[in-house]
Amino acid sequence: MTLAPAYGAESPIAELLEPEDLLPIAERRLVGNYRQASFVLERGKGCELWDTEGRRYLDFCAGVAVCSLGHAHPRLVAAIAEQAARLMHVSNYFYNAENARLADELCKKSGMDRAFFCNSGAEANEAMLKLARRFFFTRGEPDRYRVIAFDNAFHGRTLGAVALTGTPKYREGFGPPLAGVTHVPYGDLDAVKAAMGPDVAAIFVEPVQGEGGVIPPPKGFLPGLRSLCDAHGALLCLDEVQTGIGRTGTFLGSEHDGVEGDAIALAKGLGGGFPIGALLIKERLNSALTPGTHGSTFGGNPLASRAARTVLAVLDEEKLMEGAVTKGQRLAEGLAALAKEHPALCVGQRGRGLLQGLTLAQGVDTRAVLGRARAHGLLLTVAGATTLRYTPPLVVSEAEIDEAIAITGRVLAEMKP
C-alpha cells in the first residue's frame, strides 16, 4: 500500500496555481467572516508551518488547540491513509469497528460510560444541551429546562451554543436568543447559588475559560458547582473542548479540581486536526436520547475515529500529558518573566499546562502585537480582548518554547513607548 508523503515532505502533486495567485483568490472567494492574515499556509511539520512564499512560522496556535500532535505526525498520517483505503464512512444505522473501539477507550480514560460522536465542539455542546433538557423531560419534568452558564464563556457558534456563550456580541443580529439560559459571573459561587431553582436542568462550565481570556477557575469553584448540582438534582456539564485531551496536563481539565461531570463535551485536540467531537455521559443519562431524538450524519465515522484513536495512543506512548505539565511550566514561567520585564505593557500570565495566556495592559493594541509576532514568525491567537493565547502542539520542544518566548520579548520591546 502506498501511504501519504513522509513526515513534512513536499507533496509530489504539482501546484495548479502560482503562489501569488492564491491570496487574491482567497480574499475574493471566501466569505469574509474571519480576520485572516495576508499569507497562505501550505505545509507543516511538527510545530512549524510554511506559507506559499516559503516563509517559516513557529505555530503556537495549533489550529486553536486542535493539532495536538503537531503537523504531519507520521503515526497520524499513516493511520488516516490506511483507514481511508479500508473504510471511510458508513451510516450510523450500523456499528463500525473503529468507532466502537474509540468509544470504549474514551470512556475508560474519562470515567464516563457512553459516547455520542459528532464533528465539532459546537455540536458536542449542542448535543449536551439537548441531552440535559430532554433528560428531565423524560422524567416528567418538562418545565425543568433552564441552564446556568457564565459571563465570558464560549461554547460554539450554533444557535444553541451561542445562547450558552456569555459574550453578547456573539448573539447580536441572529434574532431572539434561545430561552432558558441564565448567565452569572465566572468564579462567583454565590451568584450561582442565587440563580439556582427547581427549573434548573444543568450548569455548563469550562474548566478554564479559553476564548474568554485563558481564565482558570478560583480554588473551590468547580467543586462548589458539583455540590450545588448534587444538592439541587441538576447536571454538571463540562465543556472540555479546549481543555481536554491532555492540553492542561491531565486528560480532562476538570481533573485539576477533582471534579467529575455528568456529561462532557470534547473536540479540538481529539482528532489531532481531523474533525471530530464527542459527548461523554454517565449511564443514568443514556435513556434521554432515544432513537430519532438526535444524530449526526458524519459523526463517528471510521476515518475520524481512527484518527482519534491514534491521537490517544500517541498521547500515552510519547507521554504528552506529562510533557504538558513540564513544558507548560516552562512556558508559564517565561511569560511571567516577560510580564515583569514589561509592566507597562503586560498585566500578567495565567493558564494551565499548554493552555497559557499573556494578558496585555488596557490601551495596548493586542492585534498590533499579534501582527508583529507574525512578522517575526510566531503564530498566536487572541483570547478575550487583551490576552495573547499560547496553545502549541503537545509535541512542542523546550527549544521551541524558548524561541516563542524570545520572539514575544522582541515584540514587546518594539512596542515600548
Point out the residues that are catalytic. 154, 239, 268
- Residue 187, marked binder: no
Closest CA relative to residue 300, chosen from 82, 9, 92, 85: 92
Q: Check the annotation: does 15 bind a ligand.
A: no
User: What is the amino acid identity at position 389?
Assistant: R
Return the H-helix or E-strand segment holding 350: strand 346-352
Quote the CA–CA distance of 85 and 415 in Å, as a whole number: 51
Q: Residue 354's closest CA among 374, 330, 380?
A: 330
Is 239 annotated in some ligand binding site? yes
Check the annotation: does 292 bind a ligand. no
Radius of gyration of the chain (CA): 22
Q: Is 230 annotated as a binding residue?
A: no
List Cα–Cα distances, 96 to 23, 92, 289, 312, in angstroms: 40, 8, 20, 18
Q: Is 121 annotated as a binding residue?
A: yes
Packing angle of the helix pair 302-317, 74-86 (nearest 10 deg):
150
Does 296 show up as a binding residue in the annotation?
yes
> 158: how many CB neighbours lie within 10 A of its CB?
15
**With contact defined as beta carbons under 8 Å apart, do 252 and 110 qualify?**
yes
Contact between 237 and 203 under an 8 Å Cβ cutoff? The reply is yes
Q: Which residues are annotated as a binding site for N(2)-acetyl-L-ornithine?
A: 157, 296
Binding residues: 121-122, 154, 157, 239-242, 296-297
Residues that constitute the known binding site for pyridoxal 5'-phosphate: 121-122, 154, 239-242, 297
